Structure 1
């Protein structure tokens, strides 16, 4: 199975100000969708975890 470097050589603490405009744009879209869903924090976190897991699995299987 192929492994993906999740940090891309970056330190484990990632701040908003160090990100590209595309990353910030995606972040804002995700936050907006999460707020519109009106899910609890726990359910929102579950959905984010599952989305991350599925994206990771798609990437390593491609």
Structure 2
């Protein structure tokens, strides 16, 4: 779908809590799967990244093993 290194926007809603992050497509995809499997979160991924969006927290945790 997206190149693994493309920067994407992750939008997450947990009831009244709304979070927006940017990160590499591979990382964003992994986080989105985990959040949706856990339940209770509405997750959207798109290309509408802005400079004000923080990077995905702990992004290195989602890096592939070397």
Question: Does the TM-score normalized on the shorter chain lie above 0.5?
Answer: no
Taking structure 2 as the reference length, what is the TM-score of the superposition?
Answer: 0.31
Structure of higher CA gyration radius: 1
Q: Which has the higher strand share?
A: 2
* Higher relative contact order, structure no. (Cα contacts within 8 Å, ≥ 6 residues apart): 1
Q: Which has the higher helix share?
A: 1
